[in-house]
Homo-oligomer: A and B are copies of this chain.
Amino acid sequence: MASSTLGDTKIEELVKMPLKEPVLVQGLPGLGYVGKVAVDYFIEKLKPKKIAELYSSFLLFPDGNLGINISEDGTYSLPKYELYAYNEREPNAIFLTGDAQPSVTGQYEVASLVLDYVQQSGVKMVFTMGGYGTRTSNDVGAVYAVVGDQAIGDRLKKLGARLAKGGAVTGAAGVILGIARQRGLQCAGLLGATTGVYPDLEAARAVIQMLTSLVGMPVELKALDSEIEDMRKKMEKFRRSEAEEPREGEEKTSEEDKGRYIT
C-alpha cells in the first residue's frame, strides 16, 4: 500500500486495484451541491471500491474552522476526500468525493497530490462536475462546459452542452482542471445550471446524464429519475423535519450550527 504526501496533505491508499486508463470524475461540495450529489450517485449505482482517503490540514469547514465531523452514531472523522475505483467495464473510473473543499492556500497542494496519485493509476482524462450559477429557472437542466481543448468541446456540444464563454470556475473544481490541463491531461468541467437551491437534484441529473453520454458510463439511465425522485422525497422529508424542529432554515442555519458547534 503506497502512501503519498505533499506538505500537510496525505493520501492513504487502502487497496491497490488494477485499472486500465481510468477517467477521474470529481464532485465536491459547492454551488447547489451539484458536483457532490452527482458523484455520490455514480458511487451509489456503480458500487466502486474505496481505494484511498486524502487528509489535509487545508480541508476546512465552510466557516473556515478546522475540526471533526460527527456521525449519527457519535463517532467522528476529520474532513476528507474519498477515492473510489471502478474496473468492471470500460471506461474504468476513479470517483473523487469529499465533505470539504481546501482553503485557498491549500487548493494547489491538494489538487496536485490528487493528480500525482491518479496519474500513477494511468488517468489521462479528468472531469469535474459542479454548478453554474444562473438566475432564471428556465436555464435549469442545461449543462455548461469548460474544456481543455476544442475536440472535447465539440463532442460536448453535440451532446447538448453549452460552452461557457468567459467567467471563471473557482474552487477545487477549477483548480484541478487548471493543473490537469497543464500536465497534458484531457479535461472538461461539466457544470449544471443552478439557481443555487440546495441540493439541486435537477442540475445534478443533467450533469450525470451528460457525463454518462460522453464517456459511456454504464449507469442505468432508466433508474435515474426514480432514484432522484426518491432523493427528492428524502430531501422533502428532511426539510419538513427541519421546519418542525427549526434547525437548518435559511437564515437560521448558520446561527443554529454555530450554536451546536463544540469548541
Contact = CB atoms under 8 A, between A and B. Distances in A.
A49 interface: no
Contacts of A182: 55, 78
Contact of A107 (B57, B109, B153, B189): B57
B75 A167 contact: no
Contact of A77 (B135, B164, B178, B262): B178
A120 interface: no
Nearest to A148: B75
Interface in A112-137: 130-135
In this complex, the interface size class of chain A, counting residues with CB under 8 Å from chain B, is: 35 or more
Contact of A76 (B55, B61, B73, B178): B178
A260 to B, nearest CB: 5
B70 A168 contact: yes
Interface stretch (A139-147, A218-226, A234-242): A139-147
B179 A78 contact: yes
Interface in A230-263: 257-263
A168 B68 contact: yes
Contact of A74 (B57, B60, B133, B145): B145
Copies of this subunit: 4
A261 B167 contact: yes
B68 A153 contact: no
Interface stretch (A16-24, A37-45, A84-92, A169-177): A169-177
Given A133-B260, A262-B133, A174 B72 contact: no
A130 to B, nearest CB: 6
B64 A104 contact: yes
B171 A66 contact: yes
What does DSSP make chain A's interface, helix, strand, loop or mixed? mixed
A150 interface: yes
Contacts of A170: 61, 63, 65-67, 261-263
Contact of A177 (B68, B130, B171, B175): B68
Contact of A150 (B67, B68, B75, B181): B75
A178 to B, nearest CB: 4
A184 interface: no
A69 interface: yes
A262 B131 contact: yes
A65 B167 CA distance: 13
12 contacts: A65-B171, A66-B107, A66-B175, A71-B166, A73-B163, A76-B146, A78-B175, A105-B105, A132-B260, A134-B259, A144-B262, A173-B262
